[in-house]
Amino acid sequence: MKSLMAFDSDFRESLQETYNQIEKSYKNIQKKYQFNLEKTDISEAILERLKTYYLTQGKIKTFLDKRYLTAASDFFVESVLFFLKLYLLSQG
C-alpha cells in the first residue's frame, strides 16, 4: 500500500511547479513584451491573477468546508512586485 506521503506527492509537486511557472512567465514577458504605461495591461494582469486566486480559493474553501477564504494580501503584493520588477528592468 502506498504511503500518505506518496498519495500527496502530486499536490506537493504542483506547489513546486508554481515557481517554475512564474519564472517561465517572467522570462517570456521580459523577452517578448513592451510595457506601455498608457495602457492598463499591468492592472488587468494583476486583476486576472487575483480573480484566478479567489476562484481557486473559493473551491478550496468549499471543498474543505472552511468559513473564510485564505487572505489574498500576500498574493497581491507578489503579483504587484512581479510586474513592477519587470517594468523597472525594462526601463534600463
Rg of the chain on CA atoms, in Å: 17
Length of the chain: 92
Three cell numbers written together for 29 = 514577458
Burial 30-67 (b: 16+ CB within 10 A, else e): eeeeeeeeeeeebeeeeeebeeebeeebeeeeeeeeee
For the chain, percent of residues with pLDDT exceeding 90: 98
pTM: 0.88
Domain ranges of the chain: 36-92
Residue 22 burial (CB count, 10 A)? 13
pLDDT digits (tens, 9 = 90+) for 49-83: 999 999 999 999 999 999 999 999 999 999 999 99
